[in-house]
Chains A and B, each alone.
Chain A
Amino acid sequence: MQTNQLFLIFCSVLLLLGLAAFYFGRSKATRVRASGPAMHAQPDQYAWFAVVATAGPAILLSALGAFVMLLMGTEIPTFPLLLASLAVAVVGLFAGMTLIRANFHARQAIERVIRWVLAGAATISILTTLGILISIIGEALNFFQMHSFWDFITGTTWAPGNSFLAAAGRGDGGGAEFGSVPLFAGTFMITAIALAVAVPVGLLSAIYMAEFAPSRVRAIAKPMLEILAGIPTVVYGFFAAITVAPFIVRLADSVGLDASFNNALAPGIVMGIMIIPFISSLSDDVINAVPDSMRQGSLALGMTKGETIRDVVIPAALPGIISASLLGMSRALGETMIVVMAAGMRPNLTINPLEEMTTVTVRIVAAMTGDLEFESAETLSAFALGLVLFVVTLSLNLVSVIMIRRFREKYRVNNL
């Protein structure tokens, strides 16, 4: 509470100092200019320089202090730190003011600062990736100290249930098994169903939009697919659980099959619907990027439109289409809400899509929403699963980037 107030006061004092710097800097620059000499920059640029000289070091110092406190765990009292920062700001103000002279290159000075700030912003994305890597690998390593990596990769039983008893002081926890094979089997099964729905429908829609459709149909179809892409996954999950799953159970019943309510088919199909727009919009772009001269050549040789598409356009666009499918696959592997709401919780090693199955993401959510303490094996197992998910999706993404780059280089397309 007190820290918050201190921080607020610090910010407002700094703001006031900044305003003062702007005002003094500007008036000094105007004065110098009025006295005759030709100056290197506009008065406003000198004013901004004064602001940067005042606030920059102060902000840097306080941020450094906060960072040291967090990383080293050493307690730096907040009040002196902020006071020191303000002192630095005042010093910066005076230093900045003395620098304002006719032959001072204020514009270059600000631009250098701006450039550094922009570059700093650009590194945030790298920091995010590093953050993901460090946090996930770190906790996953903790997990692998409790359970062997080999068992995790090859084990066919996922039964973390016993670790709950161990955490409660009952049982020895030795019975908990973390074999991830059934989870990955379930994930791949649902992904395969999703791709079986999405790839043909998405690709054929893209072919229609790019090659056959009159512009009027295209003008309606594109936004329609965008709507499909904008539907949140939690909504798809509800749709899968409430509408599609009971429908499948009834359908299976009517042909004499026995379907579990949490079958793998429902989330698979709905996930397929979710991925259709990805595949169709990327394939549409790629098909459009295939040079027209190839179509003209093919038609001139007497091929029909269908033959041109099948034998010339699609093979040419293949790298892009594969790339789209891989991206769709990576989406399906990491998709969470649909499977959390519509797939089961029970790890089940089967190839029957009408049976209950569970996926990696479902188990991650289950482990993170349990009442267990963070250091328990079950909670940490979520990070191990996350690590594998990261590695798999990362490699799919990289392959897809390479494919699309190959396509782009072949046809010299710029906007893909």
Chain B
Amino acid sequence: MNDSFDQISQQLKGRHRKSMRLKYYAMGALALAATFLLIFFADMLSKGLPAFKQAMVNVEINYSEEASRSGRAAIDRDLSSIVSRSVVRVIPLEMRNDPSLLGTSETRWVLASAEVDQYLKGNRARRLDADDMAEIDRLVASGQIEMRFNSGFFARGDSKMAELAGIMSAVVGTIMTMIVTLAIAFPIGVMTAIYLEEFAPDNRLTQLIEININNLAAIPSILFGLLGLAIFINFFGVPRSTPLVGGMTLALMTLPVIIISTRTALRSVPESIRHAAFGVGCSRWQVVKDHVLPLAMPGIMTGSIIGLAQAMGETAPLIIVGMVAFIPDVTASFTEAATVMPAQVFTWSGEPDRAFVEKTAGGILVLLAVLISLNASAVLLRKKFERRW
């Protein structure tokens, strides 16, 4: 009690300073998280954006007698290391399909090789010597080599030649896998949620189901892959690497997400609406079908979109069920081998070629664009239909 007012106000200042310090630490933590996000996006953009540009060469192609046996002969020798091998490879095929080409020649913009592409983007190209580089510089100066928008990246499937590799087959595979996932997870998830929320008696069994769903939501995804392999592939004989087995595996993973969000949506529909419906003589199912479900639908859709986005980004279980195959052509059926976008990213990240780093980051940008727009649409949906009773 002998402290003077000065001392006490000093203590008080110290305590308030401490309080401010906590605030700044907390602010700093959030800023740190924001910095991570920024660095991450800057890194992906700087690595991935070049993938949307591709070097093209304007070359003269001579459809000579010799070229029908080896495509290499159709192109000026100096250019042979500059033009993509894929171009050279198809020339004899073109000539066989159209014999009238023989003896003619044409000038055409074709793909440059990945090495040239990398050189022009300022990366080290191992297979080019000084002569090649001088030749490239000369061609660039004369306008014979140009960087163009890489539409092939979106139109083509995977390839072992970096300049030819695209994400089309992975995009189609993703769509097919997601169709299977949604077709299984959405109805089962919504039905489960309706049962638990509207019909089920509160007994041991329902409690077990409830705990089980929460637990499933937190099980490592790779274990779902082991389940898919052991049950779907080995036991039920579903073909490996297909959108069918991938979609089924992801559906089991997405199920808890859909169930939990649907239950939240159902629970937010006020009891008074149910009472009113019961009051005019509706049966339980009629109450759910005609009154509760329509009101809960926006919430259910939001949850399903988020679950779908999660499934779309998942790779680990798909590796286990073999969906990391090399798929150059677009998959046509649910029982054919396919790959999905994250798996394609994973495959490319394993390629030693420098040009594939760019492809990987480009694929990541496409994947992120899809996922962020899905999540954003979920947020918008929630905002638009959000209702407070």
Contact A204 B313 (CB under 8 A): no
Interface-side segment among B64-72, B88-96, B117-125, B195-203: B195-203
Contact, CB under 8 Å: B284 / A204 = no
Does B23 contact A337, Cβ atoms closer than 8 Å?
Answer: no
Q: How far is the CB of B167 from chain A (nearest CB, A)?
A: 14
CB pair B36–A228 under 8 Å, yes or no, is yes
Tell me the complex Cα distance, A131–B251, Å: 14
Q: Which residues of A contact B188 (CB under 8 A)?
A: 121, 124
Q: Is the CB of A305 within 8 A of B19?
A: yes
Q: Which residue of B lies closest to A238 (CB)?
A: B349
B23, B200, B220: the one within 8 Å of A122 (CB): B200
- Please tell me if B37 contacts chain A, counting CB pairs below 8 Å: yes
A393 sits at the interface (CB 8 A): yes
Residues of chain B contacted by A365 (CB below 8 angstroms): 222, 316, 319-320
Q: What residues on B are CB-neighbors of A141 within 8 Å?
A: none
Q: How far is the CB of A283 from chain B (nearest CB, A)?
A: 11
Proximity bits, B205-226, A CB within 8 Å = 1, else 0: 0101101111110111111111
User: Of B192, B221, B310, which one neighbours A121 at CB under 8 angstroms?
Assistant: B192
B28 close to A204 (CB less than 8 A): yes
Indicate whether A306 sits within 8 Å of B19 (C-beta atoms), given known contacts A232-B367, A389-B223.
Answer: yes
**Residue total for A at the interface (Cβ-Cβ under 8 A):** 92
A319 interface residue, CB < 8 Å from B? no
Q: Does A273 touch B at the CB level, under 8 Å? A: yes
Bound Cα distance from A301 to B315, whole angstroms: 53
What's the minimum C-beta distance from B8 to chain A, rounded to whole angstroms?
Answer: 11
CA distance A117 to B194 in the complex (A): 11
Q: Is A410 an interface residue (CB 8 A)?
A: no
| CB within 8 Å for A132 and B43 given contacts A126-B212, A138-B230, A234-B342 | no
- Whether B192 pairs with A224 at a CB distance below 8 angstroms is no
- A contact residues around B16 at 8 Å (CB): 304
List the count of A-B residue pairs having beta carbons below 8 Å apart: 264
Distance in angstroms from A202 CB to nearest chain B CB is 8
B206 proximity list for chain A (CB < 8 A) = 122
> Are B319 and A122 interface neighbours, CB within 8 A?
no
Identity of the chain A residue whose Cβ is nearest the Cβ of B349 in the assembled complex: A238
Q: Taking A129-B216, A204-B25, A397-B215 as contacts, is the C-beta distance between A337 and B315 under 8 angstroms? A: yes
Complex CA gap A310/B21 in Å reads 12
Query: In residues 251-310 of chain B, which contact A (Cβ within 8 Å)?
Result: 252, 255-256, 259, 283-285, 309-310
Interface residue B368 (Cβ < 8 Å from any Cβ of A) = yes
Check if A306 sits within 8 Å of B22, measured CB to CB.
yes
Instruction: Compute how far the CA of A266 lies from the CA of B230 in the bound complex, rounded to whole angstroms.
Output: 33
A225 at the B interface (CB under 8 A): yes
Contact between A121 and B220, CB atoms less than 8 A apart: no
CB distance A119 to B199 under 8 Å?
A: yes
List CB contacts (< 8 Å) of A274-307 with chain B. 276, 280, 304-307
Q: In the assembled complex, which residues on chain B have CB atoms less than 8 Å from the CB atom of A129? A: 212, 215-216
Interface membership of A239, Cβ < 8 A = yes
A239 touches B44 (CB 8 A): yes
In the complex, chain B residues 154-201 whose Cβ is within 8 Å of any chain A Cβ: 187-188, 191-192, 194-196, 199-200
Q: Is A205 close to B, CB under 8 A?
A: yes
Q: B140: which A residues are within 8 A, CB to CB?
A: none
25 pairs from A and B in contact (CB 8 Å cutoff): A108-B283, A111-B283, A111-B284, A122-B206, A124-B192, A128-B216, A128-B252, A128-B255, A135-B235, A200-B29, A202-B29, A204-B29, A207-B22, A212-B26, A226-B375, A232-B315, A235-B342, A242-B47, A331-B220, A333-B220, A336-B222, A336-B316, A390-B220, A390-B223, A394-B215
Interface residues of A (CB under 8 A from B): 70, 107-108, 110-111, 114-115, 117-119, 121-126, 128-129, 131-132, 134-136, 138-139, 200-205, 207-209, 211-213, 221, 223-228, 230-235, 237-239, 241-243, 273, 276, 280, 304-307, 309-310, 327, 330-331, 333-337, 340-341, 361, 364-365, 368-369, 374, 382-383, 386, 389-390, 393-394, 397-398, 400-401
List the 10 shortest-distance A-B pairs measured between CB atoms, nearest first: A334-B220, A232-B313, A306-B19, A135-B230, A204-B29, A208-B26, A121-B191, A336-B316, A118-B195, A304-B19
